[in-house]
């Protein structure tokens, strides 16, 4: 292709307003409100607050509610599609939390629903149902997740990693979000009134929005709307409160316009985030004034109509934006009766009929995660040249935490004992953290911040990281358990706002951003045993044109109760272990730099040709033989039989005869073990020698070759360190 257009080939929407794009569109333009008293689960104490509850037929009663919401929207988005998507990218914050809560409430220690607790299980379920053969990425950046997922999907298409990507967001109502937002006093008991002078908060809702995006040649004459560009930023200000001046929101909008190659005056309509909370609406208004000045386009918020669907909101509103362009009709702001004069905005109260060629859609979330998407009509969007995209990132600094300690202690432990697993006491990695700054943190956030600071120190001068890419298979388990336990023991009369805020998967990434004042893209991915590979692949995509330093951090904590319930490998009875790794990376590369890249990520059970594709992506048999001096193989205990078979097939097919190192045998079993392995791999490649203890053959030299990290099991992944 000479140029590429990212076209919206299909849309699927599920919300409290209806099932399907048409039902949602009619409800929005007629001013319908989808808020009703909560019925999905009982509330033991206090008045029942209004929520936006979706009325759906549960297609698959064997999976949680979020999974059904996501699949229903995905089915609609793929109607008429010639085949499955090449990749799936879905944003989420709750996963199977509602069913997990039900198990805890019923004191069901062996609850069958626990296997669907993880946020990543939603995207994996959808991918399996649709027979998607390629990458499956789960984004967790709170309420901006769906819009951040769109950015990742766009870059995936631009990099020619896929031709068709299903992207979106999904969240169901659950006790954690209901009581969590209630504890923060962010819910309006009368229903959300975005941008109104009498607004008092949001309305919590659920739903799913999915877009099927296709990369099409510029010569394709279809009239499909396009994702013209998207921008990301982080406030790096506070875990829940936005930057009062809206600097982060402004940065995201500017980045989206620049990415789309569209000037601000060309925007015809703005779909504002507009939650109805006092601070968020004011912050967004200030950012809009800074960008558009006196030439403010018409704007409105849809959250007074359907409520705030959390991770789904950015994707749902992007889908509505496409319909706005097609119909030439801008939605009104349901719930807004008297616009707040302090905002100095003039939101649409009623729908406005007028040609619309470009829409700017905003989504902001906890942790200061901001995302903006520009959507346009064919003829307005410019096709984009797609120069070859290098996935390689230069490693400027690194750090790890294992049961043995830091990277030096970790390698020494493996060399001497063949084992570095275990639970490192917090005092061993928190000594260089300011006690005042971490007093409200629990183990995962402390571990992540320690890793980030250590990787930065290892890099030396001159620059601090600007972007943060964090990953965790299970997120902050200590805070999750604390919140659920307190809620249960108090018979749902008390919940901890601190535990709620710090329980979201992206909380550690937000803490890292605040520490370094890192205002660039801040993305958290979560994919179980493949979380680090997702994060590294995402870094290679969103940092395509950036030469400023970024942190890629992966970590997981062991929790005596939850780890054994959620993680299939830990449930096999293995000894407790946790840890993580961090890399400070940059696009600026010198011949002497150690480089790392995620080169392959495919769904093994949906793709019969996975092994052939893997070998091809690595450059073929001859390059594998000449480029890699050792193979790091990651096989989770729960997938031992399948993984061992895949490893044997790879070695025989590729003719690889070098040392094979099963790193989970000495790191222990936890989701981010591959992050620790990557940091060890970087250190060994730099030294040019692998000490004894790593391989049965004893110590050996790499002779200038790199290390290939392969992940096996449900997915097959490849990371190159060279």
| pLDDT of amino acid 494 | 77
Give the closest residue to 515 by CA, choosing from 583, 582, 433: 433
4-376: in CATH 3.40.47.10 = yes
Among the listed ranges 296-300, 325-329, 556-560, 603-607, which one has the minimum average pLDDT value? 603-607
pLDDT digits (tens, 9 = 90+) for 104-123: 888 777 778 999 999 999 99
Distance from CA of residue 300 to its chain's centroid?
26
Percent pLDDT > 70 in the chain is 97
pLDDT grade, residue 368 (50/70/90)? confident
Q: What are phi and psi of 426, to 5 degrees?
A: -60, -30
pLDDT digits (tens, 9 = 90+) for 516-531: 999 999 999 999 999 9
pTM above 0.95, yes or no: yes
| pLDDT of amino acid 384 | 56
Dihedral in degrees, nearest 10, Cα atoms 156, 162, 168, 169: -80
> What are 360's strand-pairing partners?
270, 374
C-alpha 357/C-alpha 374 separation (Å) is 10
Residue 457: other Cβ atoms inside 10 A: 12
According to CATH, the topology of domain 393-721 is Peroxisomal Thiolase; Chain A, domain 1 (3.40.47)
pLDDT grade, residue 2 (50/70/90)? very low
Average pLDDT over the chain reads: 93
Among the listed ranges 54-58, 94-98, 717-721, which one has the minimum average pLDDT value? 54-58
Exposure class string for 103-115: b at 16+ Cβ within 10 A, else e: bbeeeeeebebbb
The answer to whether 4-376 and 393-721 have equal CATH topology is yes
- Return the residue matching tokens 């003039």: 346
Residue extents of the structural domains in the chain: 4-376, 393-721
pLDDT over threshold 70, residue 385: no
C-alpha 440/C-alpha 521 separation (Å) is 25
C-alpha 145/C-alpha 142 separation (Å) is 6
Q: In the chain, what is the straight-line distance between the N-terminal and C-terminal CA atoms, in Å?
A: 30
pLDDT over threshold 50, residue 284: yes
pLDDT digits (tens, 9 = 90+) for 682-714: 999 999 999 999 998 899 999 999 999 999 999
Return all residues near 659 (Cβ < 8 A) that are at least 6 apart.
629, 630, 631, 690, 694, 695, 696, 697, 700
N residues, the chain: 722
pLDDT grade, residue 487 (50/70/90)? confident
pLDDT digits (tens, 9 = 90+) for 199-241: 999 999 999 999 999 999 876 656 789 999 999 999 999 877 8
pLDDT over threshold 90, residue 609: no
pLDDT over threshold 50, residue 267: yes
My answer on whether omega of the bond before 333 falls inside 30° of 0, hence cis, is no
C-alpha 680/C-alpha 719 separation (Å) is 13
pLDDT digits (tens, 9 = 90+) for 38-93: 999 988 766 789 999 999 987 899 999 999 999 999 999 999 999 999 999 999 99
Residue 494: other Cβ atoms inside 10 A: 12
| pLDDT of amino acid 1 | 37
> What are 168's strand-pairing partners?
90, 210
| pLDDT of amino acid 545 | 73
Query: In Å, how far are 438, 439, 447, 459, 468 from 584, measured between CA atoms?
Result: 22, 26, 16, 7, 9
């Amino acid at each position: 292709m000479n140029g590429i257009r990212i076209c919206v080939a299909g849309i699927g929407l599920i919300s409290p307003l209806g099932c399907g794009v048409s039902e949602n569109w009619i409800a929005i333009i007629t001013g319908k409100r989808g808020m009703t008293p909560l019925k999905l689960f009982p509330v033991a104490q206090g008045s029942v607050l209004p929520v936006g509850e979706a009325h759906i037929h549960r297609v698959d009663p064997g999976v949680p509610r979020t999974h059904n919401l996501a699949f229903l929207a995905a089915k609609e988005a793929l109607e008429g599609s010639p085949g499955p998507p090449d990749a799936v990218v879905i944003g989420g914050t709750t996963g199977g939390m509602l069913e997990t809560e039900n198990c805890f409430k019923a004191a069901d220690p062996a609850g069958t629903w626990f296997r669907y607790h993880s946020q990543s299980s939603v995207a994996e379920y959808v991918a399996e149902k649709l027979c998607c053969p390629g990458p499956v990425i789960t984004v967790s950046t709170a309420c901006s997740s769906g819009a951040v997922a769109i950015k990742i999907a766009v870059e995936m298409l631009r990099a020619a990693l896929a031709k068709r990507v299903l992207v979106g967001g999904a969240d169901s109502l659950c006790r954690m979000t209901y009581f969590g937002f209630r504890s923060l006093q962010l819910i309006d008991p009368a229903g959300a009134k975005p941008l109104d002078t009498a607004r008092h908060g949001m309305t919590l809702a659920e739903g799913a929005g999915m877009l099927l995006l296709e990369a099409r040649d510029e010569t394709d004459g279809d009239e499909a709307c396009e994702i013209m560009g998207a921008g990301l930023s982080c406030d790096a200000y506070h875990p829940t409160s936005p930057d009062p001046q809206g600097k982060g929101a402004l940065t995201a909008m500017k980045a989206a316009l620049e990415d789309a190659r569209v000037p601000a005056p060309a925007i015809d309509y703005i779909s504002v985030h507009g939650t109805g909370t006092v601070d968020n609406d004011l912050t967004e208004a200030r950012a809009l004034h800074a960008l558009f000045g006196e030439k403010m386009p018409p704007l409105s918020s849809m959250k007074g109509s359907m409520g705030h669907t959390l991770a789904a909101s950015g994707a749902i509103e992007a889908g509505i934006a496409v319909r706005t362009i097609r119909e030439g009709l801008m939605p009104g702001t349901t719930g807004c009766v008297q616009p707040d004069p302090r905002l100095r905005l003039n939101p649409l109260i009623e729908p406005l009929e007028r040609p619309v060629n470009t829409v700017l859609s905003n989504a902001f979330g906890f942790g200061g995660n901001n995302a903006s998407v520009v959507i346009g009509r064919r003829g307005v969007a410019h096709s984009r040249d797609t120069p070859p995209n290098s996935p390689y990132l230069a490693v400027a600094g690194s750090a790890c935490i294992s049961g043995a300690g830091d990277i030096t202690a970790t390698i020494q432990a493996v060399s001497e004992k063949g084992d570095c697993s275990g639970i490192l006491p917090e005092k061993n990695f928190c000594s260089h953290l300011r006690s005042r700054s971490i007093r409200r943190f629990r183990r995962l956030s402390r571990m992540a911040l320690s890793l980030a600071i250590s990787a930065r120190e290892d890099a030396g001068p001159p620059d601090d990281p600007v972007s943060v890419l964090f990953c965790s298979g299970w997120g902050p388990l200590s805070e999750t358990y604390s919140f659920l336990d307190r809620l249960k023991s108090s018979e749902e009369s008390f919940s901890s706002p601190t535990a709620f805020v710090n329980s979201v998967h992206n909380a550690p990434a937000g803490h890292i951003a605040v520490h370094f004042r890192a205002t660039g893209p801040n993305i958290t991915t979560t994919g179980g045993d493949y979380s680090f590979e997702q994060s590294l692949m995402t870094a290679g995509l969103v940092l395509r044109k950036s030469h400023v330093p970024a942190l890629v951090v992966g970590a997981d904590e062991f929790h005596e109760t939850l780890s054994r319930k959620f993680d299939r490998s830990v449930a096999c009875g293995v000894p407790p272990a946790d840890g993580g790794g961090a890399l400070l990376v940059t696009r600026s590369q010198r011949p002497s730099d150690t480089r790392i890249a995620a080169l392959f990520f495919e769904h093994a059970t949906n793709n019969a040709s996975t092994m052939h594709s893997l070998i091809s992506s690595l450059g073929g048999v001859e390059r594998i033989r000449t480029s890699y001096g050792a193979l790091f193989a990651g096989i989770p205990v729960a997938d031992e039989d399948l993984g061992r078979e895949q490893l044997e097939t790879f070695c025989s097919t590729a003719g690889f005869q070098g040392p094979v190192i099963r790193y989970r045998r000495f790191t222990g079993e936890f989701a981010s073990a591959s992050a620790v392995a990557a940091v060890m791999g970087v250190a060994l490649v730099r030294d040019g020698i692998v000490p004894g203890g790593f391989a049965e053959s004893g110590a050996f030299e790499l002779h200038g070759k790199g290390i290939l990290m392969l992940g096996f099991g449900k997915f097959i992944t490849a990371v190159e360190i060279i």
